[in-house]
Amino acid sequence: MPCMKCGSNALVEEVRVIDRADYNVPLALTVQVDRKPGALLFNSAVTNKVEARVCGDCGFLEMYVKNPGALVRAAETRNRERAAKKRAGK
């Protein structure tokens, strides 16, 4: 699939998106959905690494997650938990 911005085919695939943790340690950028957002200790977070594709001509950056289905399921669980709490009047 060509670049969405300029139509170029000069794309760099599988680009890692790096975040920096303590002591400047490089880590893969991740997204996270908490299945139990109100929980103090165990929020049952589902994380997904972010991967990118960069256009070699215009530099346009597209970002993806590896396993979007896992985030969908986590969000469904979270929404069910919230609805149940609301029904229980919490």
Contacts to Zn ion by CB under 5 A:
3, 5-6, 8, 55, 57-58, 60
CB of 59 to Zn ion, least distance (A): 7
Quote the DSSP letter at residue 66: S
**CA-to-CA distance for 6 and 17, rounded, in angstroms?**
22
| CB closer to Zn ion out of 37 and 64 | 64
| CB closer to Zn ion out of 2 and 68 | 2
CB of 52 to Zn ion, least distance (A): 13
Helix or strand holding residue 7 (H, E) = none
| CB closer to Zn ion out of 8 and 32 | 8
CB of 86 to Zn ion, least distance (A): 45
CA 80 to chain centroid: 21
CB 6 within 8 A of CB 60: yes
